[in-house]
Amino acid sequence: MQRRSFVASSAAFAAGLVPLSSARAAENGVSDGEIVLGSSAVLSGPLGSQIKVVHNGAGLAFDAVNEQGGIGGRKIKLVALDDELKPEKAVENYTKLLNDHRVFAFFGCVGSGTTAAAAKLLQQSGAPSVGGYGVGDTARERVAGSAYFVRASNAREAQALVEHLTTVGVNKIAIAHLDNPGGAEAVKLIGAAMTTHKLTPAAAVSIKADGSNAAEAGKTLADSQPQAVLMYLAGTVAGEVIKATYAAGSKPMFYGMSIVPGEVTAKVVQLQSSGLAISQVMPYPWGEVETVAREYRRLAERAQVPVGYGSFEGYLNALVMIEALKRTGRDLTRARLHAALRAFRLRLAGMDIDFTAGNGTGSRFIEMVRVTPEGRFVR
């Protein structure tokens, strides 16, 4: 059975919303038969396709629980609005989701600058936000107490990557990052991790979200003659930068933070023998031991959603939201959901998630995975 889409435009969802006047609501976004969640995310342009994959993975879990009658008889609906990764647009979207769509909570919101810009709205509304993607550590601090992130912090990723490289004897490292707040923070975190090993970056290049300066960046990277390039890049941009670096006559090892989509990158550029490795913050989606991974693949195959780290992350984030809603009980309020999340501990697919420390980041899971020239992931 083809799964029903949970990601749509504002207009499409507006047409399908159940008026609150027709159902007795316990709180905004909660009726006798429905729980409405909201997301502001980049859903267009070079970065949008990657986020749609994450949301489609979440839809697998939401569809599955809805087919079983929902949570306490209430089905989950996700209203997703495109903010183009622009902070002012994100604030507009959060406001619209709260006031027009009257969402109960937020799920799967994307970006550092956009998330930080919405901090005041989150705090004032009391609406929890779960499962953010591509949100830097500084932005996480801005929304502390309001948001709960499943994936490990960027600082944790930077430390793991630099530690790995120095362990294998690599000490000349360049950095390629997105030209946005998350990318700027990634450079600082990687630099700080290198400082602990008495190293400094061979070069640091900033890449526009549309990849328009990839050729120039690739030449700068090649001229620095690095042994390895660490990347904080999303969408097709990582592939364009690798391609440009190859064209400029350099073939270093490339390492990506987890926002780098390996399968997309391999389609953009024919990876050389030095290849690409990524610090994954989610368990291996193709694992055979964990029941959660097997069920995810079954649902993905049925719904024709590509199996991969992006959709698996969305799926696991949605499972966290579903479990938190179940633990909150039939009397759904934002305050009660916050309480359930602050006490939340769960093991999913071999990954421990624990929000009880109070810092809003649930996992420290990191695993290095290599991407083959065919776009497959190998542990």
Residues 72 and 19 in one domain: yes
What mean pLDDT comes out for the span 135-147?
Answer: 96
Cα-based distances in Å from 240 to 12, 48, 50: 34, 16, 15
Residue 144 in 3-state DSSP?
coil
For position 374, what pLDDT does the model report? 84
339-374 pLDDT, tens digit per residue, is 999 999 999 999 999 999 999 999 999 999 999 888
pLDDT band at 3 (very low <50, low <70, confident <90, very high): very low
Q: pLDDT, tens digit, for every residue of 267-291? A: 999 998 668 999 999 999 999 999 9
Q: What is the mean pLDDT of residues 142-170?
A: 97
Residue 139 has pLDDT above 90, yes or no: yes
Measured between alpha carbons, how far is 293 from 312 in angstroms, rounded to an integer?
8
Q: What pLDDT shows up at residue 24?
A: 40
- For residue range 109-119, what is the model confidence (pLDDT) as tens digits? 999 999 999 99
Pair 351, 282: CB distance under 8 Å: yes
CATH number of the CATH domain containing 263: 3.40.50.2300
Query: Which domain range does residue 320 map to?
Result: 10-152+288-354
The residue written with tokens 């949570």 in the block is: 71
37 and 81 co-located in one domain? yes
Position 232 in a domain:
yes
Q: Which residues are within 8 A (CB) of 372 and not within 5 positions of it... i.e. 6 or more apart?
A: 266, 271, 275, 378
HEC sequence for 177-228: EECCHHHHHHHHHHHHHHHCCCCCCCCEEEECCCCCCHHHHHHHHHHCCCCE
Residues 231 and 126 in one domain: no
Give pLDDT tens digits for 175-225: 999 999 999 999 999 999 999 999 999 999 999 989 999 999 999 999 999
| pTM for the full predicted model | 0.88
Assess if residue 134 is contained within a domain: yes
For CA atoms 133, 137, 143, 147, give the dihedral sign. positive
Are 338 and 323 in the same domain? yes
Does one domain contain both 106 and 145?
A: yes
Pair (182, 135) in one structural domain: no
Residues 105/127, Cβ–Cβ less than 8 Å: yes
The Cα–Cα gap between 125 and 127 comes to 5
Same domain, 38 and 129: yes
Same domain, 348 and 233: no
Verify that 45 and 76 share a domain, yes or no: yes
pLDDT digits (tens, 9 = 90+) for 51-98: 999 999 999 999 999 999 999 999 999 999 999 999 999 999 999 999
308 and 349 housed in the same domain:
yes
Secondary structure class of 254 (helix, strand, coil): strand
CB hemisphere CA count around 375 (13 angstroms)? 14
What is the pLDDT, as a whole number, of residue 217? 97
Q: Judge if 269 and 249 occupy the same domain.
A: yes
Residue 235 lies in a domain: yes
Number of domains in the chain: 2
Same domain, 72 and 220: no
What distance in Å separates the CA atoms of residue 373 and residue 78, rounded to the nearest whole number? 36
